[in-house]
């Protein structure tokens, strides 16, 4: 079956990663759909990426909105006309197309555990990466140090939960890579540009080991960019017009 994934893409060269790292907004967006392609790669599911897709242009067009009414990427379309948006739903669907991959775990309980880690990472880590990113760039204003600290503390609590689990497990569920590992790696990579700085990496070393293990899988070479950690968590970047 032919599957098209409407998305942006990043190829994994160090130079590209460095260039992207200079633009927080771009990099946080681009990394989001890689984990769907990673799941497809592990499952042996071929996926086409429309080469000409232009983000913030094509997704506003009526033909795109007719397929994906929320107007966001990623969006998946199959040859029989099935359409799906929301990255977790898409990744689960792709993983389910390859049952032998073990991506969804080996039984119902493992599958529920895969979901547990995915939802924890999405709602208690990635949400705060986005909120902190928006706060420090002035997209959410006025900037408040107290709110910034609260977001960072909430994110840290979930990071610590993941790290503690990884202290005694190579992977999140069972003995092999599941969708939970790929998803968490993607979410943690997004934190490495904003909050996951040198002191945190020392504290959360199991999470660092897991991230490096997952993104360096040979099958993922052209999917994940190399990790480019911030040395110090990013602080408020006042909009240019405010700088005297």
Ligand X SMILES: N[C@@H](CCC(=O)N[C@@H](CS)C(=O)NCC(=O)O)C(=O)O
User: Does residue 133 touch ligand X according to CB under 6 A?
Assistant: no
User: Does residue 26 touch ligand X according to CB under 6 A?
Assistant: no
21 vs 59 by CB, closer to ligand X: 59
The region that residue 174 occupies, defined by phi over 0 for left and psi between -120 and 50 for alpha, beta otherwise, is left
Size of the site for ligand X (CB under 6 A): 9
User: Does residue 106 touch ligand X according to CB under 6 A?
Assistant: no
User: Does residue 197 touch ligand X according to CB under 6 A?
Assistant: no
User: Does residue 58 touch ligand X according to CB under 6 A?
Assistant: no
Minimum distance of ligand X from residue 128's CB (angstroms): 15
Minimum distance of ligand X from residue 38's CB (angstroms): 15
Q: Which tokens in the block code for residue 242?
A: 């405010």
User: Does residue 32 touch ligand X according to CB under 6 A?
Assistant: yes
Note whether 142 and 203 are within 8 A (CB). no
Alpha helices in the chain (DSSP H): 14-21, 24-30, 34-43, 62-67, 87-96, 108-121, 127-136, 145-166, 179-191, 198-203, 205-215
User: Does residue 170 touch ligand X according to CB under 6 A?
Assistant: no
What is the C-alpha separation between 185 and 197, in angstroms, rounded? Answer: 16
What is the C-alpha separation between 175 and 238, in angstroms, rounded? Answer: 46
14 vs 71 by CB, closer to ligand X: 71
87 vs 163 by CB, closer to ligand X: 87
Minimum distance of ligand X from residue 184's CB (angstroms): 14
CA-based angle 11:26:37, to the nearest 5?
Answer: 40
Residues that bind ligand X (CB under 6 A): 29, 32, 59, 71-74, 86-87
């Amino acid at each position: 079956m032919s599957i098209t994934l409407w998305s942006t893409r990043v190829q994994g060269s160090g130079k590209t990663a460095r260039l992207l790292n200079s633009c927080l907004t771009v990099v946080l967006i681009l990394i989001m759909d890689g984990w769907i392609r990673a799941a497809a790669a592990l499952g042996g599911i071929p996926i086409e990426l429309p080469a000409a897709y232009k983000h913030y242009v094509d997704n506003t067009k009526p033909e795109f909105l007719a397929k994906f009414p929320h107007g966001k990427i990623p969006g998946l379309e199959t040859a029989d006309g099935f359409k799906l948006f929301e990255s977790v739903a898409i990744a689960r669907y792709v993983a389910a197309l390859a049952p032998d991959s073990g991506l969804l775990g080996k039984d119902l309980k493992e599958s529920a555990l895969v979901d547990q880690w995915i939802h924890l990472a999405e709602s208690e880590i990635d949400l705060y990466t986005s909120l902190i990113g928006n706060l420090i760039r002035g997209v959410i204003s006025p900037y408040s140090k107290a709110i910034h600290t609260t977001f960072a503390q909430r994110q840290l609590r979930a990071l610590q939960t993941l790290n503690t689990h990884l202290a005694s497990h190579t992977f999140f569920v069972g003995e092999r890579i599941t969708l939970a590992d790929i998803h968490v790696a993607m979410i943690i990579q997004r934190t490495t540009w904003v909050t996951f700085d040198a002191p945190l990496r020392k504290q959360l070393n199991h999470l660092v080991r897991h991230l490096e293990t997952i993104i360096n899988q040979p099958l993922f070479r052209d999917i994940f960019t190399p990790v480019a950690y911030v040395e110090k968590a990013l602080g408020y970047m006042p909009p240019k017009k405010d700088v005297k």
